[in-house]
Amino acid sequence: MRRLIAILLMMTLALPALAQDRPRAGLMWNRSGLPATLPLVVQTLPGRDYAVFLSPETGGDPVMAGYIHGGQFFRLLVPPGTWVVRFAHGADWQGEDALFRPETEWTEVEEPMTFGASVARKHGYIIRLIETEGKVRVAAAGSLDICQGLTVTTELEERDENDRRALNLLPAPGLQDLRDDFDTFARSDFNRLPTPGLRRLDIDLDTRSRVCG
């Protein structure tokens, strides 16, 4: 009896640990050695989770992986290149080695996807997965281009009266006192002429991104 109670207690303690093992949605790892700056958006239905893997089109091990909670908005920044995009999916995550085994299923985008960027545009993709007759398939896969614009805002700010008075009392730039009597020069009206540059120019740079039309 004591042994049965001990087993039940161990199972009860293990349940929260299993729930915590479900990865947080987002990037799992990036082994490409490249900066991840290009958008990949995936739309899914609730009922199962997904692990997305990006592999080189020439073959080889995946270079990036992300975890998707089914039914939730998912956006992942990926590195430039042409990648094969595959999804492992199931209801019971068992770690990166076992995935959702023994119920792990796979869905793959038919054509490799090329991610890239120019000066003012980032080229990525949006993928929509649906489930029909118990099978997950790619319903749509299309381009997602992000345009970047630079806005420059300038503003002229007038000096206040205190600044004007302080500047007007300063010696005009580039003039030298050629007279022996410095006190006479300092009191002269010539030295009290308004100093140019009484306005200050403020410049604001604002980079904004939007989905290209």
Read off the pTM: 0.65
Token representation of residue 198: 């009484």
In this predicted structure, what is the pLDDT of residue 161?
59
Please say if the pLDDT value at position 187 is more than 90: no
Distance between CA 62 and CA 199 in Å, rounded? 58
In this predicted structure, what is the pLDDT of residue 133?
87
Other residues' Cβ atoms within 10 Å of the Cβ of residue 65: 19
Does domain 23-150 correspond to CATH entry 1.10.1330? Answer: no
For the chain, where do the domains classified as CATH 2.60.40 start and end?
23-150
Q: Span 16-41, mean pLDDT?
A: 84
Please say if the pLDDT value at position 52 is more than 60: yes
Per-residue pLDDT band at 21 (split at 50, 70, 90): confident
Residues 94-127: pLDDT tens digits?
Answer: 999 999 988 899 999 999 999 999 888 899 999 9
Distance between CA 79 and CA 59 in Å, rounded? 17
Please say if the pLDDT value at position 148 is more than 80: no
CA-wise closest residue to 141 among 122, 128, 153: 128
Distance between CA 101 and CA 9 in Å, rounded? 26
